[in-house]
Amino acid sequence: MTPQIEAIYRRESRRVLATLIRLLGDFDLAEDALHEAFFVAVERWQQDGVPSNPRAWLVSTGRFKAIDRLRRQARFTPLLQAQADALQAAQWSEQDLEDDRLRLIFTCCHPALAPDAQAALTLREICDLTTEEIARAFLATPTTIAQRIVRAKGKIREAKIPYQVPSRDELPERLDSVLRVVYLVFNEGYSASMGADLTREDLTREAIRLGRLLMELLPEPEVMGLLALMLLHESRRVARTSAGGGLVLLDEQDRGLWDASLIAEGCALVEHALSTRRFGPYCLQAAIAAVHAEAPSAGETDWLQIVGLYDVLLRAVPSPVIELNRAVAVAMRDGPLAGLQGVDGILARGELLDYHLAYSARGEFCRQLGRTEEARAAYEKALLLTQQAPEKHFLERRLTELNQPR
């Protein structure tokens, strides 16, 4: 595959798949059609050149490949002939080419599906994450994730779940799961679960694009909050890595690299959402991000306000991960011993035992307290649990520093 075709695959494959699912009405058939269309493209485009509208070409080719596949299989399953004839009869042209991903998200997040299946299916079908990447996001095994995806597709097929954006009356009750999934997509891009790179810009931009689409569709406070949260985090993405790709902690980042336009947009959305008095967890998380974004320097961060916001957030959404983040904020306000006590309380309850950031935080607090052996054990545990190269290098550097004379 040439670099140009690879770029088209990265840019267009999820759009093409979403449209093929709409046209064909079947996830597996659409996925096979997508792969066959790109296989043909690799052969033909290298000889004939890339068409002026590659997405339309891929959709059209994939559709015909699906029809041919059904007709071949109809020799053994006669009912497939009727399906092939119906698809052939349904006219399609480039004028019908739409961006179908929002429809696909609502299908993947249908309430008939279990919440974990909704997220796994969306990450797989909309964002092209592998089962291994999704498993890291869910702290689950790849086999478990694969089973969830297979069951979700079967449920959509058996229950004849419609491939459409819900009516305006149905939108609010369907929105929570969609927001959760969009945020999971963003998180995978903002802090990749594995690999050589800390971030995946394609995923953060995709999640923000989907957030903007949701804002157009339903400008509710929590939609504003999620979009604001993503924009404020995205504003810092460039500063989170060094020139060599290494991890740069928040208090060490060059704030001159932060994107002022994204910060301004995010803070304005936070203010608007909070003014409605109908805000929820995403708005509160965005408010925390806004406090960070508006601080002129790390030393001038209003940690008292951040801890207060985490207190409100924890009451709204009890979560050990949020509690861990609060412990870090408490450490910044009250010192490393207070932070360590918070982390140890979480681990003592048997929570976050497989979460590398919990041990990384513990290692940092112990290091600051001069408890070298405890710090080393915590960093080593975190190193075993992370699969992301920049985080591994950061932890290895911390371990090396512990071995040097103070």
The CATH number of the structural domain formed by 3-96 is: 1.10.1740
| pLDDT score recorded for residue 363 | 97
Burial of residue 159, with CB atoms counted within 10 A of its CB: 0-12 exposed, 13-18 middle, 19 or more buried? exposed
| pLDDT score recorded for residue 79 | 67
- pLDDT, one tens digit per residue, over 204-224 is 888 898 899 888 878 899 999
Across residues 125-129, what is the average pLDDT? 84
Listed by start position, the domains of the chain span 3-96, 310-406
The better pLDDT of the pair 181, 352 is held by: 352
Residue 179 in this model has a pLDDT that exceeds 80: yes
Across residues 328-339, what is the average pLDDT? 97
Query: Which pTM value belongs to this model?
Result: 0.75
Q: How far apart are CA 165 and CA 149, in angstroms?
A: 21
∠ at Cα 202 (359, 244), nearest 5°? 60
> For the chain, what percent of residues have pLDDT higher than 70?
94
Residue whose entry in the numeric block shows the structure tokens 């508006």:
294
Confidence band of 167 (pLDDT split at 50, 70, 90): confident
| pLDDT score recorded for residue 226 | 97
Across residues 145-151, what is the average pLDDT? 95
Topology of domain 310-406, per CATH?
1.25.40
Across residues 379-384, what is the average pLDDT? 97
The dihedral of CA 73, 74, 77, 83: what is its sign? positive
What residues have CB less than 8 Å from 225, skipping those under 6 apart?
269, 270, 273, 279, 280, 281, 282, 283, 284, 285, 286
> For the chain, what percent of residues have pLDDT higher than 90?
55
Q: State how far the alpha carbon of 52 is from the alpha carbons of 124, 156, 358, in Å.
A: 28, 35, 50
Average pLDDT, rounded, for the chain:
89
Confidence band of 133 (pLDDT split at 50, 70, 90): confident
The better pLDDT of the pair 199, 341 is held by: 341
Residue 404 in this model has a pLDDT that exceeds 80: no
- Fold agreement (3-96, 310-406): no
Residue 267 in this model has a pLDDT that exceeds 70: yes
| pLDDT score recorded for residue 139 | 66
Across residues 250-259, what is the average pLDDT? 94
